[in-house]
A and B are shown apart, each in its own frame.
Chain A
Amino acid sequence: AQSVTQLDSQVPVFEEAPVELRCNYSSSVSVYLFWYVQYPNQGLQLLLKYLSGSTLVKGINGFEAEFNKSQTSFHLRKPSVHISDTAEYFCAVVRGSQGNLIFGKGTKLSVKP
């Protein structure tokens, strides 16, 4: 079964500092990987997705992620964060023939001034 592991439950960082949110997946088949962001008391919004092709994927709000097949990772990065990036971030993988999204447990990013 496919699964997603987000290694950090909380990441505090100062404004304008770089950040990396880690995600590892397990799968015996080709995967499609996603990062979603959830602002407080709201639904989820797609940040970026990897389907195929270039392993470096750029998303909205200046975020990017790199697919690393050998390390089975899909870490999310941003070179300089803003206060407004404070949110919870979810890594997800499409599972099986039904293609249902399976989410990690989330990482709460807290950006401090």
Chain B
Amino acid sequence: SQTIHQWPATLVQPVGSPLSLECTVEGTSNPNLYWYRQAAGRGLQLLFYSVGIGQISSEVPQNLSASRPQDRQFILSSKKLLLSDSGFYLCAWSGGPRTFSANTEAFFGQGTRLTVV
């Protein structure tokens, strides 16, 4: 069966420090991968998605970047965190060879709560 791992679960970082959040998927190959951010009262905002190794699409301009060094690994990074980067970050994957298939659901990790102080 497929599983998705996301870590760390919580993180407190000072302003200006770097960030690296990691997400890995097991039990499937060539998944579509997503990073979402959830801020209070703002729902879930799609930050990045990837349909393959090294292929990253950014949905919104921001202080963050994403990388996919391996098929089932998706990393969210920042060189210098801002206070506004605080939030709950969710990684997700879905099936489909190249695009999200409406016949499959998206599976989410448990999330990382990031607090920038």
Contacts and interface: CB of A to CB of B under 8 A. Distances in A.
Interface string B36-76: 10000111111001010000010100000000000000000
A100 B46 contact: yes
A94 B94 CA distance: 12
A42 interface: yes
Main secondary structure of the interface of A (DSSP, over half): loop
A105 B43 contact: yes
Interface in B69-117: 90, 92, 96, 99-103, 105-106, 108-111, 113
Contacts of A32: 102
Most central of A44, A90, A97 by chain B CB within 10 Å: A44
Interface of B: 6, 34, 36, 41-46, 49, 51, 57, 59, 90, 92, 96, 99-103, 105-106, 108-111, 113
